[in-house]
Amino acid sequence: MSIVRLSLVIFFGTLGLGISSVATADIVWIETIRQACPAVCQKTDYKFAVPAGTNPRATKARGTTQVYYVCATHFSGWRVGFNIEYAQRRCYTGFRTSENYGENYYCLCSDKPMEPIK
């Protein structure tokens, strides 16, 4: 089997695993202004904010796990970004060479808990 073919098999196999695990949860965007995504989601039928990953430096500095949650804000068009506990009133997103934030944004919420990517 060629390396290209093997790479494609691995890629599509991994993609299939990711899609199948996400397909079992219902997700929805919930609009908010200056609130932490976990708190926003908790108030709805979709109780869990969708985590993306963790911030090891912030976790070490604060002594608790600092999770990035998926959000989207409007900055030169809609952009997906992150909301994190220590800066919970903003959705941060990258644009060109800088990081920007919005205080009006949407949080991605799920009806099932998910683990952050490690």
Residue 77 covered by a domain: yes
Residue 45 covered by a domain: yes
d(CA 106, CA 95): 18
Residue 3 covered by a domain: no
d(CA 22, CA 66): 22
Residue 37 covered by a domain: yes
Max CA distance (Å), the chain: 53
Residue 8 covered by a domain: no
Residue 23's pLDDT is 55
Residue 60 covered by a domain: yes
CB 29 within 8 A of CB 107: yes
Among 51-55, 65-69, 108-112, the range of highest mean pLDDT: 108-112
Residue 5 covered by a domain: no
Q: 2 or 41, which is more confident?
A: 41
At residue 74, the 3 state secondary structure works out as strand
d(CA 96, CA 87): 21
Give how many domains the chain has, as a whole number: 1
- Average pLDDT for residues 56-60, to the nearest whole number? 81
Q: 52 or 2, which is more confident?
A: 52
Task: Print the domain residue range for 94.
Answer: 26-110
d(CA 97, CA 94): 7
Residue 9 covered by a domain: no
- What is the per-residue pLDDT across 1-30, written as a single tens digit (0 to 9) for each? 444 444 434 444 544 444 444 557 899 999
